[in-house]
Amino acid sequence: MSKLDLVNEAAKGSRRALARLLTHIQQGDQESIDSVLSATSVQSIGITGPPGVGKSCLTDCLAKFFADRGERVGVLCIDPSSPISGGSLLGDRMRMEQSGVDDRIYIRSVATRNSHGSIPLRLKAMISALSISGMDRILVETVGVGQTEIGIVSMTDSVLLVDGPDRGDIIQAEKAGLLELADVVVVNKGDLPGSEQAAANIRSGLALGPASNVPVLVVSALNRIGINELVGALDEIQPRPSVEIVKCRHRLSSAIIDEVVSKKSFDVAVTDLAEGRISIEQAIERVFQE
């Protein structure tokens, strides 16, 4: 089956064709990428936060909520990969007990492989492929909080930052600058002590900055508490010019990195650099000459 046939079959609702198309895109097949990038992407939400705050559980809860109100939902779960073997556990779907049994929800685990940071090189094209297949909304769950995680803002329309009752977790987001870029902040596990205080501390931290109007909510994905309010906040997100500039900057830098890393000369330069045949400056010159 040709790449165009895969796109057409995916557009007709074939999950098998969609799965094959996503695989081709993730492997860097340029024909597959070009066949979807011209499509108009539907609403996408990036969900990020420190490890252990319940991102997968909240993603599962949101996907089920959107599906219950008649939407078709695509979920991309980003999993870290071994820098040596490239292997990945791809275990996020095991935490998504509700989404796995709903025909209106499509879940795809995505290994970072050789991508820059923790954001897959082909994520934007994968979002477009899900849009073509008829999804009404796309959720992207990231690996965790860090400087490279800011790249999620270049791939999705909005960013949901998830924290836990332990206020110390969000410090990593503050260091990375992600807190000011988030469109909505939630303190998950709201049934545990300290959650309201954590939310109050976050509001205080945002009050004096450019993100003073960002809603900070307390939810419990496990007990389905506060989800209606969270969805309402997500539906009412308004673009912020300062964040849009950051999005464009990261979108452009991601495209440049994607282009460079995809070149055959990049892998050759890495091998020569590792074996001591060239310097880092010579490697850079060689890659950009191509």
Same-domain status, 198 and 243:
no
Rounded to the nearest 10 degrees, the angle between the axes of helix 123-132 and helix 15-26 is 160
Same-domain status, 77 and 107:
yes
- Residue 222, in any domain of the structure: yes
CATH number of the domain that 62 lies in?
A: 3.40.50.300
pLDDT 10s digits, 160-187: 999 888 755 555 556 546 777 889 999 9
- Residue 58, in any domain of the structure: yes
Domain boundary among 238, 260, 278: 238
Supply 34's token pair: 């070009």
Same-domain status, 247 and 208:
no
What is the enclosing helix (H) or strand (E) of 73?
strand 73-79
Same-domain status, 156 and 208:
yes
Same-domain status, 207 and 279:
no
Q: How far apart are CA 103 and CA 97, in angstroms?
A: 13
Same-domain status, 45 and 177:
yes
The dihedrals phi and psi of 115, each to the nearest 5 degrees, come to: -75, 160
- Residue 186, in any domain of the structure: yes
Residue 237 makes CB contacts below 8 A (sequence gap 6+) with 158, 183, 184
| Residue 70: closest CA among 129, 141, 140, 135 | 135
- For the chain, the average pLDDT equals 82
- Residue 226, in any domain of the structure: yes
Average pLDDT of span 85-90: 44
- For residue 111, the cross-strand partners are 79
Q: How far apart are CA 159 and CA 179, in angstroms?
A: 10
Q: How far apart are CA 144 and CA 137, in angstroms?
A: 21
Q: How far apart are CA 38 and CA 41, in angstroms?
A: 9
- Residue 34, in any domain of the structure: no
Yes or no: say if 187 and 204 are a contact pair by the CB < 8 Å rule. Answer: no
Higher pLDDT, 239 or 138: 138
- Residue 79, in any domain of the structure: yes
Q: Per mean pLDDT, which of 144-158, 199-213, 233-247, 252-266 is the most reliable?
A: 233-247
Name the residue range of residue 181's domain: 41-238
Say if residue 203's pLDDT is above 60: yes
Supply 225's token pair: 């508490």
- Count of domains observed in the chain: 2
Same-domain status, 107 and 192:
yes
Same-domain status, 269 and 221:
no
- Residue 192, in any domain of the structure: yes
Q: How far apart are CA 217 and CA 231, in angstroms?
A: 11
Same-domain status, 250 and 262:
yes
Supply 51's token pair: 């490890």
The dihedrals phi and psi of 220, each to the nearest 5 degrees, come to: -135, 100
Q: What is the pLDDT of residue 118?
A: 43
Q: How far apart are CA 196 and CA 181, in angstroms?
A: 22
Supply 177's token pair: 């600058």
Same-domain status, 246 and 225:
no
Average pLDDT of span 103-119: 72
Q: Please, which pLDDT band fits residue 234 given cuts at 50, 70 and 90?
A: very high
- Residue 15, in any domain of the structure: no
Same-domain status, 126 and 193:
yes
Same-domain status, 125 and 176:
yes
